Amino acid sequence: MTKVISFISRKGGTGKTTNAINLATSLHQLKKKVLLVETDTNYTISSIRKIELFKLKKKKDPYFKIIGSRDNRAATEITGLKKSGDYDYIIVDSAGKTTDKGIRELCLESDMVLITTSLTQNDLLVAFQTVKDLRPAEKLNANLKICILPNRIHSLTRFTTVMTQLAQLDSEIIQTYVPQRKTYTTPSTVKADRRYKNVAKQIIKQLG
Ligand SMILES: Nc1ncnc2c1ncn2[C@@H]1O[C@H](COP(=O)(O)OP(=O)(O)OP(=O)(O)O)[C@@H](O)[C@H]1O
Ligand SMILES: [Mg+2]
């Protein structure tokens, strides 16, 4: 059965796109059937793919599919895509604010919502508010898991320190973290980052 994992946050720049790409490429490398849906109307991910195919001189696209959508119609489109049974995982990189109707509908179609956050005070406040905004969706969608994905963490930070800082968010936390790394500033849609594989595996484990 298709599982839908959506990246949602109340504020921009928390790492949704970076992690959506890395998760998709890692799952693709793990031989899963993946679809990546981007609702940001700049269609950043599709552009990255086009540039990568051009650089690799590939006329055909042999990698996982990336489609563009909008926050206000993503949920409806995903309902149809789920029925097709063509994918193991549909990953959604959303652009909307948590209070949008489209985002609320997206939560109802999702099996997991990932809220990316660093440990800065501002990001923690945004994550806290995002969790609060999305909580009501759990009452309407019994399958939904809302999880925090710690992102941009200094690579020497102990995981227990990360957990202590995130405890105040009162939410399930992915049991690993994504470090702050230069390679993540230019993510690839065709080649998985070897070190992200464990993050992807942990996310799938918690998705159940
Ligand atoms: N783990 C990381 N290590 C290093 N840089 C990161 C990491 N995660 C995100 N960044 C950087 O932080 C910036 C914001 O990340 P990203 O574009 O993924 O956020 P976003 O939530 O998708 O933002 P928006 O809501 O504006 O689309 C980017 O410049 C990205 O390269
Ligand atoms: Mg983005």
Domain ranges across the chain? 3-207
Which residue's alpha carbon is at the smallest distance from atom 20 of ligand 1? 13
What value, to the nearest 5°, has the Cα angle with vertex 14 and ends 132 and 179? 115
So what's the pLDDT on residue 18? 97
Measured from CB, residues less than 6 Å from any atom of ligand 1 are 9, 12-18, 40, 151-152, 178, 180-181, 184-185
CA distance 110 to 207: 11
So what's the pLDDT on residue 189? 98
Distance 116 CA to ligand 2 centre (A): 11
CATH topology for 3-207? Answer: Rossmann fold (3.40.50)
Stretches where the chain sits below pLDDT 50 are none
Residue 12, token pair as written in the block: 């921009």
So what's the pLDDT on residue 196? 97
So what's the pLDDT on residue 79? 95
So what's the pLDDT on residue 40? 86
Residue 49, token pair as written in the block: 């793919």
Whether the CB-CB separation of 147 and 173 falls below 8 Å is answered with yes
What is the atom index within ligand 1 of the atom nearest the CA of 116? 21
CA distance 140 to 11: 24
What is the atom index within ligand 1 of the atom nearest the CA of 179? 1
So what's the pLDDT on residue 175? 98
- The whole-model pTM stands at 0.97
